[in-house]
Amino acid sequence: MKYTEKQEYAWRHVLTNNAYRNILFDGGARSGKTKVLIDYIFARAFQFPGAKQLVARKHRVRAKNSVWNDTIKKYISQHPEMKGRLFHVVDSELKIYFANGSEIQVVGLDNAERVERIRGTEYCTIYLNEATELTFQTMNEVVTRLSQRVYDSAGREAVPKLLLDCNPRGPRHWLYSVGVKQVDPETEEPLPGAHLWKRVHWSAYDNKENLSAETIEILENLPETQKQRMLYGKWVSSEGQVYADFDESVHVVKPFAVPADWTRVRAIDFGFTNPFVCLWGALDHDGRLYIYRELYERGVLTSVHAETIKRLSSGERYLTTVADHDAEERAELNKNGVPTEAAKKNVQLGIQEVQKRLKERRIFFFPSCKRLLSEIDSYTWLPATEERNAKEEPRKLDDHAMDAMRYMVMAVGDEWEKSIKNKLRRCFK
């Protein structure tokens, strides 16, 4: 298949340019970006004997179906003269062994054993397919393995390459910050080594010559948000947002020193494999809630979280800390000096209370709460079915800060606020 103009540009001026070590291909579906990346990985395997190439996606089954079956196997079928002579394929391992000692390995990052093997291996090239499915931490961890030193026949050392592709999500996603804005998603500071990054933006129209009229028509007739993302490749906010009244220009406020006499609360959603989230909030004298701090971490023991919470809360006094109903984890926090109360967990009521506060402009966020703000942007309703009405149930995806926010808002609800004065007396006597 002949390259499109965009694929030709990507190959000649980006992929083979050693000035770029980290390359993002972001854009619409069926735009031709995955094909050219796989072609490039094969070229690297042939050029640099002994080179190890890693192709990773969050879920192995999706890596197998989309990358292995749809793209890699297609490459192999188009070059039958190479199979068995220049490389052999092991389908059960999702791995290709080259006669020159190079390898291409396709993996999912949803298995601890596979991730551990990655940690113990050095790679020449790492390709993160549909990188928006991954966390910023995962990318940073994987890229540490990009350290293999291999050489071509002329003695030239291979420049390590991190390749990423994706269909866009919302503009608060970490990959938009890193790959498009080239800033650290946590601090918004310029990304170290930003000059080593290169972004190529794709639209399905870039690959129009290889797509059927039917495919183009399907993409053109998607719901508006999906069309913007899948056809044009734009980073736009989700359709069907649970918190559609959220307005960054209104609800995200410039940080300030929280007055000592405001009522402070904390809310916790437990997690280990999933994120552990703690949010800090303060009520002003008119009942407006300001969420001013977040803790959002994976893979950390509850006892360690307790020490972090105490350190971040130093010098502050809290009316209450509400938490998920995990008795064991709550007991662990209590043992380590962070007493909690069981949160009110009714999802629909909690969502309604948050929506009410957003509409009435009685909830605000500091911009440092980046994970929470990112989740607000992507927190959407499940589509209606025969069994489920529209706007009845939110998607259980990247919603851990959303849960903690619900707990906090329910904790400072009107009914609960009636007892604030009595609790304050106990708290500050």
Per-residue model confidence as pLDDT tens digits over 115-153: 888 889 999 999 999 999 888 888 999 999 999 999 999
Q: What is the spatial distance between Cα 231 and Cα 98, in angstroms, rounded to a whole number? A: 36
Q: Kindly state the average pLDDT of the residues 284-297.
A: 95
Domains and CATH numbers, the chain: 5-230 (3.40.50.300), 248-428 (3.30.420.280)
pLDDT at residue 169, rounded to an integer: 87
pLDDT at residue 273, rounded to an integer: 87
- More confident call, 421 vs 354: 354
Per-residue model confidence as pLDDT tens digits over 231-247: 999 998 777 789 988 88
**Strand, coil or helix: 277:** strand
Angle (deg, nearest 10), helices 400-411 and 370-378: 100
Per-residue model confidence as pLDDT tens digits over 201-233: 999 999 999 999 999 999 999 878 888 899 999
pLDDT at residue 415, rounded to an integer: 45
Q: What is the spatial distance between Cα 351 and Cα 219, in angstroms, rounded to a whole number? A: 32
Rounded mean pLDDT of the chain?
90
Q: What is the spatial distance between Cα 320 and Cα 411, in angstroms, rounded to a whole number? A: 9
pLDDT at residue 422, rounded to an integer: 55
Is residue 51 within 8 A of residue 148, CB to CB? The reply is yes
Is the predicted pLDDT of residue 424 greater than 80, yes or no? no
Is residue 289 within 8 A of residue 375, CB to CB? The reply is no
Exposure of 280 by Cβ count < 10 A (0-12 exposed, 13-18 middle, 19+ buried)? Answer: buried
Q: Kindly state the average pLDDT of the residues 91-106.
A: 96
Identity of the residue numbered 349: L
- Categorize the per-residue pLDDT at 290 as very low, low, confident or very high, splitting at 50, 70 and 90: very high
- More confident call, 133 vs 309: 309
Please list, in sequence order, all residues whose beta carbon lies within 8 angstroms of the beta carbon of residue 155, skipping any fewer than 6 positions away: none
Q: Kindly state the average pLDDT of the residues 381-407.
A: 83
Cα end-to-end distance, the chain, whole Å: 77
Which of 370, 21, 399 has the alpha carbon at shortest distance from 183? 370
Share of the chain above pLDDT 70, in %: 95
Task: Tell me how far CA of residue 173 lies from CA of 121, 165, 371, in angstroms.
Answer: 29, 14, 9
Please state the pTM of the whole predicted model. 0.68
Q: What is the spatial distance between Cα 169 and Cα 171, in angstroms, rounded to a whole number? A: 7
Output 377-382 pairs: Cβ under 8 A, ≥24 positions apart: 377/170, 377/171, 377/172, 377/237, 377/238, 377/241, 377/246, 378/169, 378/170, 378/172, 378/173, 378/238, 379/238, 379/241, 379/242, 379/243, 380/238, 380/239, 380/240, 380/241, 380/242, 381/240, 381/242
pLDDT at residue 247, rounded to an integer: 82
Is the predicted pLDDT of residue 384 greater than 80, yes or no? no
